[in-house]
Every structure is written in C-alpha cells, then in structure tokens.
C-alpha cells in the first residue's frame, strides 16, 4: 500500500472543483488506454458539490461518459423517490447532466424496488452484480479504478460505523440497520472491497471532519475509526479543504 497524498484547498467549492478536474483527467486517461473506467461514488454533501463540479467541468467532453461504470459505496435503503437516495442525488447533480449509459449506472435497490423491503436481499443483489462485473469468479468486485469516500465526524466511511461489525463481514456487501447516521437502514460495501480499488479518493470539508481525518490518516484502530481502513492499491489521495486538514501533523499538508 502507498503513502497517502494530501491535496488541500481553500474551501469546499475549490475542493469540489479540484476533485472534478482530477476525475475528468483520470477517466479520459483510462479511456485513452482502452479501458472502460469504473468509479465508485459516495454519498454526502461534499459529494454533491463534486458531482455538480464534474457536470460543469470545462473539459467534461474529454470523457466518453457512455463508457464509464458508476457504482456506489453505500446507499440509503429508502424508496426510490426519496431525496435521501445517494443515486438520486448523484443523478440530479451529475448523471442526468452527462451522456452516461443508464445500464452502466449500477444503483443499489431502493426499499420499494425489486426486493421490496428486504434489505438483505437488496445487499445480496448488489453483491451479485458486483461479482458479475468482476474480472474473475474469485473476485467479489471489479478492480475499481477510482473509489471515492466521504468521512463522518465519527470516523465512519460508506456506511461502516465505529464499533459496528459490518466492516469485518466476509461478504462484499451487507445491510446496515440502526445506522447512527440517518436514515437508519442502509446497504454498504464492507472493508475488503474498499481496499481493492486502484485509487481511493477521500473527500472531506469542514472543521467537524478535522479530527476524524487526522485519526484516519495517521492510522487508528479500525473499530474506533473505520476510515483508517480503506486505501488504494496504487494511490490514496485525501482531497481536503483547509478546515478538514487543520489537525494533520505538521509537514503532512502539501498544496
Ligand atoms: C452516506 C455517505 C457517508 C458520507 C459521510 C460524509 O451515505 O451518508 O456515504 O459515508 O460520505 O457521512 O457525508 P458529508 O459529506 O455530508 O459530511
């Protein structure tokens, strides 16, 4: 595994623009190499800003958006039309504004979808789709090219929360009940798939994330700080605004 890169920016808007520019560049480069890139999107407020920034990026047309696979690191298990759905927020901010291929937007089932209110079945169904898209039967997921993750003030990532057992589950995808962050029922990738991506891109803004960022970057106990677990096989980048980077050890912050 690799040392994390720290990329700091004045505020959330500059952070979002920087991540968007880097994502467009990365996807275009992968496509020039003949790849169909796979990106794992995250939920949360900074993710919405990033998605909006991608949709308005001046060089967005350098990517053939119809040949990008979009996955989700977690999803809220709510009805399809709920404003809480990560896929709904991603569609409104980005996916509906770009010529993506709907068949390559791999959403996690809602609570009123094909599995009705059976969240375990929804998790298993997503796991099946991930396995079907992987390079071999032994792999539970594709080798994601870019896996984006937000971080909570408590050190959670995706829907893996401190003191909870889901992150250790041997399955790639599990249901989460009684989530400390509402809504209470979710579907999430577990820790192993979050450590299989070529690149992990953390995105965080605001003072309230500074301690969790410090704990995750400097290496903490997984039970206490799940965000200390995921890292890229080739690269881990922390895209932070200056507030979220404010508690990093001196010398770690490079602009
Ligand atoms: C979710 C997210 C979650 C989020 C963090 C950060 O579905 O809620 O996946 O892990 O990324 O809680 O969210 P904010 O950017 O809104 O603080």
pLDDT value at residue 1: 57
Residue 63 carries which DSSP code? S
The parent domain of residue 209 ranges over 5-252
- Mean pLDDT on 226-254: 92
- Can you tell me the distance from the alpha carbon of 73 to that of 43, in angstroms, rounded to the nearest whole number? 8
Cβ–ligand 1 distance for 46 under 6 Å, the answer yes
Residue nearest to atom 14 of ligand 1 (CA): 44
CATH of the domain at 188: 3.40.50.1360
CA 240 to CA 228: how far, in whole Å? 16
Write out the DSSP string of 174-185.
EEE-S-SSSSS-
Task: Verify whether ligand 1 is closer than 6 Å to residue 158 (CB atom).
Answer: yes
Question: Which of 152, 159, 160, 184 has most ligand 1 atoms within 8 Å of its beta carbon, as the pocket-test mutant?
Answer: 152
Q: Please count the other Cβ atoms lying within 10 Å of the Cβ belonging to residue 255.
A: 9
Question: For 61-87, how does the pLDDT look when each residue is reduced to its tens digit (9 = 90+)?
Answer: 999 999 999 999 999 999 999 999 999
Atom 13, ligand 1: residue with shortest CA distance = 44
- Of the residues 85, 150, 200, which should be mutated to test ligand 1's pocket, given the most ligand atoms within 8 Å of the CB? 150
pLDDT per position as a tens digit, 156-185: 999 999 999 999 999 999 999 999 999 999
φ, ψ dihedrals at 242, nearest 5° = -65, -30
d(Cα 109, Cα 117) in Å, to the nearest integer?
10
Weakest-pLDDT range from 3-7, 20-24, 52-56, 197-201: 3-7
Q: Convert 204-242 to b/e letters by CB count within 10 Å (16 or more is b).
A: bbbeebbbbbbbbbeebebeebbbbbbbbeebbbbbbbb
Of the candidates 139, 120, 123, the one whose C-alpha atom is nearest the C-alpha of residue 131 is 139
How many distinct structural domains can be found in the chain? Answer: 1
Percent of the chain with pLDDT over 70: 98
Is the C-beta atom of 181 inside 6 A of ligand 1? yes
Atom of ligand 1 minimally distant from the CA of 158: 10
């Amino acid at each position: 595994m690799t040392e994390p890169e720290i990329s700091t920016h004045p505020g959330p808007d500059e952070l979002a623009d920087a991540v968007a520019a880097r994502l467009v560049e990365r996807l275009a480069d992968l496509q020039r190499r003949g790849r169909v890139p796979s990106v794992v999107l995250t939920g949360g407020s900074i993710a919405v800003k990033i998605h909006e920034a991608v949709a308005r990026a001046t060089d967005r047309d350098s990517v053939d958006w119809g040949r990008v696979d979009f996955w989700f690191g977690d999803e809220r298990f709510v009805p399809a039309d709920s404003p809480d759905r990560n896929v709904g927020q991603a569609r409104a901010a980005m996916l509906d504004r770009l010529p993506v291929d709907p068949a390559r937007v791999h959403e996690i089932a809602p609570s009123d979808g094909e599995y009705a209110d059976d969240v375990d079945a929804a998790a298993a169904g997503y796991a099946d789709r991930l396995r079907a898209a992987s390079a071999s039967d032994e792999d539970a997921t594709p080798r994601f090219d870019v896996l984006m993750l937000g971080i909570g003030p408590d050190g959670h990532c995706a829907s893996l929360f401190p003191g909870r057992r889901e992150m250790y589950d041997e399955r790639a995808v599990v249901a989460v009940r009684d989530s400390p962050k509402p809504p209470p029922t979710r579907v999430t990738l577990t820790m192993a798939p979050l450590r299989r991506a070529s690149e992990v891109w953390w995105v965080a803004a605001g003072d309230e994330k500074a301690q969790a960022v410090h704990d995750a970057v400097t290496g903490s106990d997984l039970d206490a700080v799940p965000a200390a677990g995921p890292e890229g096989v080739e690269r881990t980048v922390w895209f932070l605004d200056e507030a979220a980077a404010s508690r990093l050890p001196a010398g770690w912050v490079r602009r």
